[in-house]
Amino acid sequence: MDGHMAGGNGTRGSAASFRGLAARWTLLGCLGAVSLLLRPVPVLASALLAPAVGTADGATQGTRIADPPSPAAALFANPAGLVQFDTITTNGDLGLGWGIGRIEASMPPTYDETNNMLAAIPDLGVSIPYGERWRFAFGSYGSTGSTFDYDADVSAGVPDFFSETMIMAFPVGVAYRLTDQIAVGAGVETLYGQLRTHFTLEDLPFRYKIYGVGLQGIVGLAVRPAESWGVGLSVRVPGRIWMDGSMPVPGAGRQDVSVDLMMPTQVFLGATWHCTRRLTVSGSIRFTDASTLGDSTIEYELTPQANIGFIPEAKDEWRLALGAEYALRERLTLRLGASWASSIVGTAGMSPLVWDGNDAKISIGVGQRYEHWAFDAMAGYLFPTERRVSAEEALVLPGEYSMQGGIVSFGVTYRY
């Protein structure tokens, strides 16, 4: 670090003290992005990774890998599923996700804070057939407006900090029907991410916005061995988002801030069984190579001692889900879903803005179809989850971390 930052010009304490606090509060201020950068809903699926896209897909917890219920859901989970849309099909959904996170720190003992999270979750998908075998699609999904805002606690020696993030994906995809039973698909999505944050570190204000674009791809397979059931398999290949910006440093001008966020590999496997004329059940398993997120480093040009992994102690995720759909009437469908996902943040990587738990959640939805139109609604709930971090393991604050949350969503589909 430059001498003026280590000893004077408004900063206090030794360089070693600054390095320790810089690592801690940089983590708090900057890693708030992850809960939205990696998922459209701020409180579901390991509390960090997206479980599904769209209202109907969310109601069954994203289990329809073999035959996704909308073009947007197919672009997200398995582009081979686009072959089921024989006419031009469009869908649009808008969800509202909420979460309540609480930290009861055992050291300092006076720190007890609650954070309310809120995010809008839009998506759009369009599928266009070309002949009998080809399907082309494009869309968008993501989230906006998630804010983490903690007040300072002077008695506990904790400064205030703020983080607001946005991430949007713009996928395009293609599917091809090899036979009546087998289809393949592929897609690529352009990503846009933005993080705005500010906090104070020993009188040095960290205030900046970083943003940038990225790319990620997916390939998929859909097989229907019999009329009553199908199987879907897809792989989301590694991707990356390049985010950068700058921030003022008193007495030193400006410093660059950047992170090359490595988006993890994901493997989706699911099956759908049409048990009877009215009842359909589905299930899915998903693996996410989330440990690679620990290899992405937030870098500061003039204060490299503050550099830190995007998710320290990141772990891989396993997610299991079950869904059911029952036709109450010919065109009125009830949907149910349940899922469990492992945490991806290791205990030693927990902080007030980057933490999760092994989560369990349920969802319920209803869909009404007409000749060309379909309307869907759903609600989901994340059961309260808690994690305790000991003083020996704590990265920032030891104590008890707990959260709960939910989502409501509404969608419209039109088939020409």
**CATH value at residue 63:** 2.40.160.60
pLDDT recorded at residue 66: 96
The stretches of 203-301 forming alpha helices (DSSP H) are none
The stretches of 13-112 forming alpha helices (DSSP H) are 15-30, 34-37, 55-59, 71-77
Q: Distance between CA atoms of 363 and 59, rounded to whole angstroms?
A: 5
pLDDT recorded at residue 145: 53
Domain count, the chain: 1
The stretches of 272-319 forming alpha helices (DSSP H) are none
From residue 102, give the alpha-carbon distance in Å to each of 99, 255, 336: 10, 33, 29
Give residue for tokens 């009215």: 278
Q: Distance between CA atoms of 124 and 140, rounded to whole angstroms?
A: 5
Give the N- to C-terminal CA distance of the chain in Å, as an integer. 63
Strand spans (E) along 202-347: 204-226, 229-236, 239-249, 253-263, 266-274, 279-288, 297-300, 308-309, 317-329, 332-341
pLDDT recorded at residue 202: 66
Q: Within the chain, what is the greatest distance between any pair of CA atoms?
A: 76
pLDDT recorded at residue 25: 40
Q: Distance between CA atoms of 405 and 33, rounded to whole angstroms?
A: 18
Sequence-separated (6 or more) residues with CB below 8 Å from residue 322: 61, 63, 281, 282, 283, 337, 338, 339
| Full residue range of the structural domain in which residue 162 is found | 3-415
Report which of 325, 404, 332, 323 is spatially closest to residue 374, judged by C-alpha positions: 332
Name the token pair of 59.
Answer: 């109601």
Q: Are 354 and 31 in contact (CB under 8 A)?
A: yes
Q: Distance between CA atoms of 201 and 29, rounded to whole angstroms?
A: 10
Residues of the chain with pLDDT under 50: 1-47
Tell me how crowded residue 199 is: count the other CB atoms within 10 A of its CB: 21
